[in-house]
Amino acid sequence: MRNHAIHALLLLVALAAVLSAPAVRPLRADEKEKPAPLKLKVGDTAPDFTLKYFDGAKLQDVSLHEFRGKKNVVVAFFVFAFTGG
């Protein structure tokens, strides 16, 4: 009788493990690679910005509009300092 109870319990534990597995399963690569569409598209006017950067001595401003009519600008957003790319 007691054995039955233990078996039933083990079965329940095993069942719970199987059922909860999909929830904790790590995302497959193709699921991760489903980026949301970007808000901006080619042809849009790039939002202007004025931001600070440190030139080694003091904080300086850099803005998008200062290059208007003079230079193309590559604006490279990255996640945080010390990340790849």
Q: Which residues bind another protein (CB under 8 A)?
A: 33, 35, 38-49, 51-56, 59-60, 62, 64-65, 67-85
Neighbours of 13 (CB within 10 A): 10
Would you state the structure tokens that stand for residue 10, as one six-digit string? 């083990």
Question: Shortest gap between Cβ of 31 and another protein (angstroms)?
Answer: 14
CB 52 within 8 A of CB 60: yes
Question: Shortest gap between Cβ of 21 and another protein (angstroms)?
Answer: 23
Round to the nearest angstrom and report the end-to-end CA distance of the chain: 63
Q: Which is nearer to another protein, 4 or 54 (CB)?
A: 54
Question: Shortest gap between Cβ of 22 and another protein (angstroms)?
Answer: 20
